[in-house]
Amino acid sequence: MTLDRGALQAAWNQARRHLEAARTRLTELPDLDLSATLEFLEHNELELAFDCLTDLGDDLDLPLGFWQDLDLAARQMRLYSDALHKPHLTAADLCRRHLAAASEQD
């Protein structure tokens, strides 16, 4: 399935909004450096921003909403289907694991 340029841009914009929402949830935490994530977002490196947010969240006990925001971004960027073809653990895999764990807690 191919997307036209407009649909692709719309999906990317939606992914950016989800990533920014996840990042906003982290701004409330003290002593957490979010500058790399902001730089990735500013330079339209959304997959790197996703990886960075997932790495930051992996070490923290974050609420379900954070993982849901990342999940929606991953779906928009089609990261889950890409992860199926990689032999190593990806940020998308980590996101799914944390989403499942946070869902069980809520």
Q: Residue ranges per domain, the chain?
A: 5-105
Which pLDDT belongs to residue 7?
84
Q: DSSP secondary-structure letter at 33? A: -
- How is residue 2 written in tokens? 């191919």
- Does residue 83 register a pLDDT over 60? no
Query: What is the tens place of the pLDDT at every residue in 20-59?
Result: 999 999 998 888 999 999 999 999 999 999 999 999 998 8
Task: Provide the token pair at 62.
Answer: 């974050």
Beta carbons of 41 and 23 less than 8 angstroms apart: yes
Is the model's pLDDT at 69 over the cut of 90? yes
Identity of residue 76: Q
pLDDT confidence tier of residue 102, bands split at 50, 70 and 90: confident
Tell me: pLDDT of 84 over 70.
no
Q: Which phi-psi region, left, alpha or beta, contains residue 31 (left: φ > 0; alpha: ψ -120 to 50)? A: left
